[in-house]
Structure formats: structure tokens, C-alpha cells
Amino acid sequence: MYQTIVQAVLAHAKETPDKLAIGFKKISVTYGELGIQVRAFAQKLQQEFGIEKGDFIMISAVSKPEYIVGYLAVQYLGGVSIPIDKSAKLENILDVYEYAQPKILLADGKVLHEKIRVASLKGVYADCLEIPEEELTVAYQEHSDEELSEILFTTGTTGKPKGTMLSVANIYASTHNTWHGVGMQTDDVVLLPLPLNHSVGMRVTRTIFYIGATLILQNGFTFAQELEKNIEGFHCTGLVSVPASIELVYRQMQDKFAGIMGTYVIWSSEQGRLAMI
């Protein structure tokens, strides 16, 4: 099996290039496209910002394709990804930045502070889409199981953010645990409205790409109409949620809830098991 998520994505890009990897509103990214975008983003990071193996990179964890590609590109280069809340306050961003000392912050919006080196996540992604595949020369960096791969920080709502360091082996074990524990299948199309800087959202995201399934991104559960549109439009087979969010959706859908949700599997991060609605 693959040692890393990036290895898996590159393999799927060759074996199933036309399969949908990411769906977001009207945007569709196949595995073939994802493989190219990750390599292009990595090349942009290396050539423009000097990112090298072992560098720490903070990334705004927006529920958009550019975050997924940026996260994987950092891993491609052998860097350490540090996802942060997309709505994080400047003081919390600064706490993490000063603690981790990343080489750069790839931000979704403006982050103005003299201590923080910032680049536009959206801008780098847009630039990487313009690089022809034949011009991609940056090689994938091999990893050892003990190497640090990712740091997940708390949001800092009850004090300063606290980080958990994840090695390549940690992520491998977590991915296989999620894959076999949940029973995720290669042909699953999974709707993920949970935050991508939290352990649950990242665990599911990694597993989806490891096995070659499909990820549908959505920014939260606020609008049940968007949930319904994604489920029906992308023919989703699974939804990742927590009980409180399902209750919110039920209150919005009311009588429509059973008809829309009745044939889907809900993977509850709090229950840790399959639940049929």
C-alpha cells in the first residue's frame, strides 16, 4: 500500500485520471487534474517562496479545492502542513505563527501583520493552473515513517492554541483506522461540511484520497438547501457530520428530511460508527 496520501493521489492520477476527486459547487477536479495541480502548486512553492523539505507551512483551511491542493503540495515537497481555522482571529494566527515559525502563511484573505509572511492561497492556486504539465520538474520528496508531516492546532477559544504533531506513520495509521473502521469504499462520494483544520475533517479527507474515493466540499451546515443540492447533484453516498449538525439540518428540512437523507449513510464523528437514518 501507499506510505503517504500524496503517493496515493499520484497513483490514482495515473490509474483513474478521469474519476472525480473533488467537487465544489460548479467546480470539478478529476484525479488526473489533481495530480497535475499538486505538482504545479509544489513547484510554485519551491521556486517562488523557497519551500524545502522540512519547512513548516501554515494554510487557511477553507473548504475549497485550493486548500486541498495546497495541503498536498506541501506534503509533496516534504514540508509540514499546519492547517488553521479559515475564520481565525489575527491574535490566534499570530500565536500559532510565533510558536511554529513557519516559512509562510498561505492565507485565504488579507492577514496584515509585520511579523507574518503571507501569500494568497487563491493566487498561488490560480498561478499553478497556468503551468503546463510538460514544465513540471520538481520531484516528489520521499519520506521516512518518523518524519513530521502535519501539525493540528486547537482554535484557541479557551486559551492559546495547542498543537499535536503527526508523523508520516501517525497519518498512515489514522487513515487505515478510518478506512476500515468506517467501512469507506472506493466508489463512495462523501459530502464533508466539517472544518478542515480539525482532526475529523482531515482524517476523512486523507482517507478519501488514499483509497481514491470522491470528496464533495461544503462550507458548514448553515444552509440545508445547499446540503440537498450537493447530495442530489453529486449523487453522494456518505455524509460526515456530528449529531448537533444533523439536528440543525432536521429543523430546517422538517418533512423533507427523511426523503432527502433516508438513503444516505451518516458518519458521525462523535459516535464513531455507522448510523443509518
| Cβ proximity of 269 and 198 under 8 Å | no
pLDDT band at 228 (very low <50, low <70, confident <90, very high): confident
* In the predicted structure, residue 7 carries a pLDDT above the cut 70: yes
pLDDT at 223 over 80: no
The model carries a pTM of: 0.89
Report residue 3's pLDDT band, with 50, 70 and 90 as the boundaries. Answer: very high
- 145-162: average pLDDT: 85
For residue 120, pLDDT beyond 90: yes
Crossing angle of the two packed helices 5-15 and 31-49, in degrees rounded to 10:
130
Query: What SS3 class is residue 107?
Result: strand
Residue owning grid cell 484573505: 109
Write down the pLDDT at residue 272.
40
d(CA 66, CA 49) in angstroms, rounded, equals: 17
**Res 12 pLDDT > 50:** yes
Whether residue 264 has pLDDT greater than 70: no
Highest mean pLDDT among 188-197, 218-227, 258-267: 188-197
Lowest mean pLDDT segment, chosen from 3-12, 91-100, 238-247: 238-247
- H helices of the chain, in order, are 5-15, 31-49, 65-76, 90-100, 121-128, 168-182, 199-211, 224-234, 243-253, 257-261
Q: How is residue 61 written as a grid cell?
A: 483551511
| Residues 163, 151 contacting (CB under 8 angstroms) | yes
Report the run of H or E that residue 145 belongs to, with start and end.
none
Query: What local confidence, expressed as pLDDT, does residue 258 receive?
Result: 61
* Least-confidence region, from 7-21, 51-65, 180-194: 180-194
Give the rounded percent of residues in the chain with a pLDDT score beyond 90.
66
The residue count of the chain comes to: 277
Rounded Cα gap, residues 144 and 3, in angstroms: 9
CA angle 40, 30, 53 (to 5 degrees): 30
DSSP 6: H
Cell 460526515 belongs to residue: 240
CB distance 152 to 199 below 8 Å: yes
Q: Is the pLDDT of residue 84 over 90?
A: yes
The H or E element spanning position 16 is none
Section 196-208 average pLDDT? 94
For the cut 70, the answer to whether the pLDDT of residue 276 exceeds it is no
The better pLDDT of the pair 207, 277 is held by 207
Q: What is the three-class DSSP state of 86?
A: coil
Burial class (CB in 10 A: 0-12, 13-18, 19+), 3: middle
Confidence of residue 156 (pLDDT cuts 50, 70, 90): low
pLDDT at 274 over 50: no
pLDDT tops 70 at residue 266? no
- Rounded Cα distance between 196 and 275, Å, is 22
Residue partners of 254: CB distance under 8 A and separation at least 6: none
DSSP, collapsed to helix, strand or coil, labels residue 263 as: coil
Contacts of residue 74, Cβ cutoff 8 Å, sequence gap at least 6: 42, 45, 51, 57, 59, 80, 81
Lowest mean pLDDT among 3-12, 18-27, 159-168: 159-168
**Residue 226 binned pLDDT confidence (cut-offs 50, 70, 90):** confident
Model confidence band, residue 110 (pLDDT cutoffs 50, 70, 90): confident
Question: What pLDDT was estimated at residue 162?
Answer: 85
State how far the Cα of 91 lies from the Cα of 253, in Å rounded to an integer: 37
